[in-house]
Copies of this chain bind each other. A is one copy, B any other.
């Protein structure tokens, strides 16, 4: 008896989930749903149908968990509460500031319809959040640090693309090695935004565009770049495509804290990820959360959950006995 999965949206994330299903024998892909004309969407799994989103409700009893692979800006705020009415759903909503609002909306829909919805699955939010939580629960007298990268930030790349004269751009967020080492020392340093991350931009401009103005516009852009040391390279479209189409990412969550009657002992907890493919790793987390969602639904639970609410054993295909025997 495998868990029957539906994928909503077939971009990088949807494709990543399709690949992850192949690695998890307890999962079975039932259908991919798209807003495009289904016949124009080619998927990798043989014998699985691509359906138009309008036909989704026909699959109400054929799917155990529907995985929502849309974007956090406009898709998920609408889709997750809507589909939580009919399905057990999982999303990777990652607009941190809007998580409480999203949670409330989804929780209401899921509870009213006795479904489970797991939101904000991935690595940040997701595994990084879990590590912040565990480390702070263990070391209450301490400090948390999160470093991202090296990896492409979609939001920052988009911000550069909106500048007049820019044809395309890719922005890498890079953790500053000295800052990482200061944190690892356990000294609990106060670090400014500028001290933690570097921003490196690769920019393609239109013929005759004013590079000096563009560079200044990037480096002084509030919120995005003004508080950082920013490096700008102008390159050709050919170079951008050849050298900067990777989707690698990663980062570090570090907490140092004190214990002892007089706080005399220091401890450093570090979690890090080095990912060749950001969307495929996120997809792999989503699949594990789909397994947990399925189990919670079967238990009769309902409402919105995050990874904070999931007993870790629910993520694994192994039985509790096997986990205790082999992993504890």
Chain A residues in contact with chain B, CB under 8 A? 16, 18-20, 22-24, 44, 96, 99-100, 103, 120, 125, 127, 129-134, 136-141, 184, 186, 259-261, 264-277, 280-281, 283-285, 288, 291, 306-313, 315-317, 320-321, 323-325, 327-328
Contact = CB atoms under 8 A, between A and B. Distances in A.
A19 B261 contact: yes
Contact of A323 (B96, B308, B324): B308
Nearest to A259: B280
Contact of A138 (B96, B281, B313): B281
Say what secondary structure dominates the interface of chain A: helix
Contact of A19 (B16, B133, B260): B260
A96 B328 contact: yes
Contacts of A130: 134, 312
Contacts of A273: 267-270
Given A140-B317, A306-B328, 19 more contacts: A16-B259, A22-B261, A23-B141, A24-B140, A125-B328, A132-B327, A133-B313, A134-B315, A137-B291, A138-B288, A184-B274, A259-B284, A260-B277, A260-B280, A267-B277, A271-B271, A307-B312, A308-B311, A308-B312
A284 B323 CA distance: 23
For this chain, the copies found in one complex come to 2
A324 B133 CA distance: 10
Contacts of A260: 19, 277, 280
A284 B127 CA distance: 21
A309 B315 contact: no
Nearest to A184: B274
A284 B19 contact: no
Given A129-B327, A275-B267, A328-B120, A316 B16 contact: no
Contacts of A103: 324
Contact of A272 (B138, B140, B270, B306): B270
A267 B310 CA distance: 23
A326 to B, nearest CB: 9
B23 A140 contact: yes
A309 B324 CA distance: 10
A133 B306 contact: no
A135 to B, nearest CB: 9
A321 B100 contact: yes
Contacts of A125: 328
23 contacts: A20-B259, A23-B140, A23-B259, A99-B325, A125-B328, A127-B269, A130-B134, A130-B312, A133-B323, A134-B312, A136-B316, A137-B312, A137-B315, A259-B277, A259-B283, A267-B276, A267-B277, A268-B272, A271-B271, A306-B328, A308-B311, A308-B313, A308-B327
